[in-house]
Chains A and B, each alone.
Chain A
Amino acid sequence: MALVRFGLGRRGGEPLPADPAAWLLDQLRQPDPTRFDDPPTTAAGLSALREDRMTRPPNLESRSGESRSRALFKREATRHLANAIVTPAPFRERLVWFWTNHFTVSAKRGACAPVAAAFVEEAIRPHVTGRFGDMLLAAMRHPAMLLYLDNVGSVGPDSAAGQKNHRGLNENLARECLELHTVSPLAGYTQSDVTAFANILTGWSIDLQADPPGFRYRPFAREPGVQTLLHRPFPPGEAGGVAALAFLANHPATHRFLATKLVRHFVADDPPPDAVRVIEGVLRDTGGNLGAASAALVTLDAARAPGTKLRTPMEYVVASIRTLDVPPAQIPNLTGILAALGQPLWGAPAPNGWPDRAADWAGPEAMLQRVDWASGFASRIGGRDVEEIATNALGPLLRPETRDAIRQAGSRRDAAALLLTSPEFQRR
């Protein structure tokens, strides 16, 4: 149950934890076991982007072959998913996914593709059990986010750069940060708050020509003067932005919003208000400690009801591969599968990320695509005993009907398809 709800499904016959809650909490206490040789970095991603921009004409039609940016994206996406399949800390990985989706940067915006993996490894993974404020600052300063939400060219209209070049504000990042990353519309902010926050964030940019390329604060683009955001004054300079983010990170509306999203993700599509209050209280009392909030999720009474959530395509595919215990060398091309199932990795259509309710994933054709993929993938069962694998994977969650259907199936492959498409396997 702990492996299904909070993890990514049991991998083959891996040993079951004696104390599931302790196993989950231990993952929060121990350092992240994920280790990449040669991990993705912003510098490498932006270098690829720079090279593509220099060597490849901007006109799409005249391009040929794969850009360095795209190749890097594919390599990193494959590596990210391969790690999820073998990780001994699946709860931690789920948290990485959750927060990556909360701070969506999408490779649908081409310039973000080469830095998407670096964003996860630099801005998200180090902070999933740390302070939300640290994650927020890391995400908002990350070149992937600054590129995705157009802040790199946002210039204060009264700044030196604005006066000289007649350039001005782009409020996209400021608006989405308020709406999607922190206080949410619950806080009742106005257009003047959005404008003020956009002014505060002017100058937060990137330098593609530097060596290594990366984040760069451009003081000449910073709108001068004190800016008032949600009735608070924030000073000029880079420090004003850092202070504004610290303020937003610990705003009560942010705690409420994050608690609601966490409970929706780990407990139920309609988050039980009591559970939300518990998590909200933990965030408030700990100054936004995400490790403490995650630990509190594990101990919620509401989290004990099984199967309340439908697995998203990404959760479903990774769980299927873990269940059939496919050897790493034989793992299929997951990026293509996820795209076909409607959830390409780091490719959400909009800054609000992937939806988190069953209704958004259970369109009839979406379900059939899943069924079709699983029926084909079921051939990986080989000569193994499906009932044993089903028992390993689902334990007490396995329904008698499903066990009967597996026993009565015409082939091992059909039996495995029935396991993977059963409602209890599609849920977590």
Chain B
Amino acid sequence: MHIHTTRIGRRTALLGLAATATFGRTTLALAGAPTDRRLVVIVLRGALDGMAAVVPYGDPALAGLRGEILPAAPGQPDGMLDLGGFYGLHPALPNLHAMYRANEALIVHAVAANYRVRSHFEAQDYLESGTDHRMISGWLNRTVAALPSPATERPVGEALAVGLSVPLLLRGPADVANWAPHGFAQPAPDLYAAIAALNRHDPVTGPAIRQGLRARGYSDSVMAADAQPKDTFTFPALARFAGRMLRAGDGPRIAALELGGWDTHTAQANRLRGPLKQLDDGLAALKAALGPAWSQTAVLAMTEFGRTARMNGTKGTDHGTGTVAFLAGGAVAGGRVEANWPGLGPGQLFENRDLGPTTDLRAVAKGVLAGHLGLDAAALNRIFPGSEAVDGLRGQIRT
């Protein structure tokens, strides 16, 4: 049997994760690609309130909409981290602020994708599909497929998702295996082989078991060598793990991470701190783990939609429209907030409730894929169907 003899098996010096039995749904997926550039996409599930993460404190209408849930002014104890006089970063984001000051973080504000639904579930599907309807493949998988064929023997589409399922963002024609720390004792290889054989003709269980064994061949050989404490399955730990994988010369090049906890209908000021800190610590862990490869890295963090500009009746916010997208990485031409600010005054809110969307999220993503991975307009329009009229933003990536 050849189940454990896989090509990815060679690379396992990168991995080191210990078993835990309480792993949830997917949080990290990785894909190989014929490039030295690294791309990390973070899906912030649950609708991040862009105006809480990047507060437009210079807008005179802001305090009237949500005074009670605003962080203190820049310079005050636990105050916002200033971004040049109009915007302030939430105080739980110091690492992102340091990246911003080092010109490695670019914030795009008042951004929204091209759908206008306010359902999390539809919107996340659309966000990952890269269009205004649900497709069976995600835009990041199509990105992998659009990259030129490798000159070397590195297999195309070799990908690994960490967790129990593959997010739609990375589903598609390029094969993605997945891996999660396993909590149950494993049977002997010959029983695995017999089980795989018994399932080989089943269209669902057959390929799943085959790919799963392949992915484990990839990861298990180093588990004993570099085990980590069992409680490390936090977002920063997965980001660090992603960074180590991406750093290696022959490692994967594309990673997708997820982070939830953004659906702050109540007590937002308290409830946002935790996920923001996770995001911030994760970005720092990713940067540290990437080491010198950080200079070739771009990170895009995006969410399905924003939240209402006005605080609701329970000191939270409801589903809205415009929000922020974050770009970070050594390859990012950062140090600024890019926004065509729509204003928050009377008549300026979208449908009299939400931050107006003035930048198309697809323009942000297309700009990154063009600038960072060198994809041309035709490829970008295949990756984001129906986006012909939307040009990628220029100048997001260092040249």
Contact = CB atoms under 8 A, between A and B. Distances in A.
Interface in B151-193: 161, 163-166, 177-180, 182-187, 190-192
Contact of A418 (B121, B185, B198, B351): B198
A361 B164 CA distance: 8
B24 interface: yes
A423 B165 contact: no
A350 B353 CA distance: 24
Interface in A92-132: none
Contact of A175 (B118, B179, B182, B212): B118
Given A365-B215, A423-B202, A191 B118 contact: yes
A254 interface: no
B187 A369 contact: no
A350 B120 contact: yes
A368 B213 contact: yes
A339 B23 CA distance: 8
Interface in A150-209: 150, 153-155, 157, 162, 167-172, 175, 179-180, 185, 191, 194
Contacts of A212: none
A86 interface: no
B163 A365 contact: yes
B351 A168 contact: no
> Counting chain A CB atoms within 10 Å of each CB, which of B24, B204, B210 scores highest?
B204
Contacts of A369: 164, 180, 182-184
A423 B209 CA distance: 11
Given A342-B25, A349-B260, A423 B265 contact: no
Contacts of A402: 198
B211 interface: yes
A162 B202 CA distance: 58
B208 A366 contact: yes
B205 A336 contact: no
A362 interface: yes
B316 A423 contact: no
A138 interface: no
B75 interface: no
Contacts, number: 175
A289 interface: no
Given A340-B183, A365-B163, A405-B194, A185 B21 contact: no
Contacts of A227: none
Contacts of A169: 312-313, 318
Interface residues of B, number: 62
B184 A170 contact: no
Given A364-B215, A423-B199, A340 B22 contact: yes
A376 B184 CA distance: 8
B169 to A, nearest CB: 14
Chain A interface: which size bin? 35 or more
A170 B313 CA distance: 6
Interface in A329-345: 336, 339-342
B209 A371 contact: yes
Contact of A349 (B25, B198, B201, B265): B25
Q: Is the interface of B mostly helix, strand, loop or mixed?
A: loop
A352 interface: yes
Contacts of B161: 363, 365
A185 B123 CA distance: 12
Interface in B311-332: 312-314, 316, 318-319
> Counting chain A CB atoms within 10 Å of each CB, which of B121, B195, B202 scores highest?
B195
Contacts of A361: 165
A220 interface: no
B117 interface: yes
A340 B216 CA distance: 17
Contacts of B214: 364
Contacts of A340: 21-23, 183-184
Contact of B187 (A191, A375, A401): A375
B182 A363 contact: no
A350 B26 CA distance: 14
A373 B180 CA distance: 14
B266 interface: yes
Contact of B318 (A172, A409, A418): A172
Contacts of B215: 364-365
A230 interface: no
B119 interface: yes
A349 B205 contact: no
A364 B21 contact: no
Contacts of A414: 187, 191, 194
A405 B198 contact: yes
Contacts of A405: 194, 197-198
Contact of B265 (A150, A180, A339): A150
B132 to A, nearest CB: 13
B319 A175 contact: yes
Given A191-B118, A423-B205, A170 B314 contact: yes
Interface in A346-369: 349-350, 352, 358-369
> Counting chain A CB atoms within 10 Å of each CB, which of B120, B194, B201 scores highest?
B194
B217 to A, nearest CB: 11
Contacts of B206: 423
Nearest to B190: A410
Given A418-B198, A423-B205, A426-B205, A339 B212 contact: no
B226 interface: no
B122 interface: yes
A240 to B, nearest CB: 18
A422 B198 contact: yes
A417 interface: yes
A14 interface: no
The 10 closest A-B pairs by CB, nearest first: A168-B313, A364-B212, A363-B165, A423-B202, A375-B187, A368-B212, A372-B184, A364-B211, A367-B208, A342-B164
11 contacts: A150-B314, A170-B313, A175-B119, A179-B121, A180-B121, A185-B117, A366-B178, A369-B180, A371-B195, A375-B185, A409-B194
Interface of A: 150, 153-155, 157, 162, 167-172, 175, 179-180, 185, 191, 194, 310, 336, 339-342, 349-350, 352, 358-369, 371-373, 375-376, 401-402, 405, 409-410, 414, 417-418, 421-423, 426
Interface of B: 21-26, 46, 117-122, 161, 163-166, 177-180, 182-187, 190-192, 194-195, 197-199, 201-202, 204-216, 260, 265-266, 312-314, 316, 318-319, 351, 353
Given A365-B180, A371-B195, A423-B198, 13 more contacts: A170-B314, A171-B319, A191-B353, A310-B205, A336-B21, A339-B22, A342-B24, A363-B166, A364-B177, A364-B179, A364-B210, A365-B212, A372-B182
